[in-house]
Amino acid sequence: MNEKISNYESIIEHWISDFVETMKYENPDVGDRTGDQPFGVKIMFDGYGFNEKTNQNDDTDVLSFAVFIHIDCMEGKRFPEHETTPWGIAHRPDQEICIFAYYDKRTRLAEVVPFEDGNNTKLSNQLIYELISGVNNRKYKK
């Protein structure tokens, strides 16, 4: 089976919406992780949207998120902490995928940036689809 799960973007959009609805702060600081997230997945606030009037990333109605999915997320382990650097966290491309998403507070809609064309992971696309589906099935298992 080497096919894309057609709904992975909608799954992550749902995770982002849940995260935003449960965040502790309305205008979070970069790195905020106070919202609910699936076990084994790290969702982190990454900044604000681009404001064409100010030519800055200061549109507080658009939130940017980094969604990290670790290769071991289905093994019942907590998400391993990242090493920090002066400019942020150290991404581990051989162990995880980082998928970016945006949430618009005005419309209450999330949008995922497709990862397939990027080169920020060594994991296969098929494995990533399976991890997303597995985490989602576990999260909403009745």
Q: What secondary structure, in 3-state letters, does 7-62 show?
A: CHHHHHHHHHHHHHHCCCCCCCCCCCCCCCCCCCEEEEEEEEEEECCCCEEEEEEE
Q: Per the structure block, which two tokens stand in for 29? A: 């600081």
Model confidence pTM above 0.85: yes
- pLDDT by 10s per residue, the chain, length 142: 445 566 899 999 999 999 999 999 888 988 888 999 998 899 999 999 999 999 999 999 999 999 999 998 888 778 878 788 777 777 888 999 999 999 999 999 999 999 987 888 999 999 999 999 999 988 766 4
Pick from 58, 36, 34, 55: nearest CA to 47 = 58
- Closest listed residue to residue 32, CA positions, set 21, 49, 47: 47
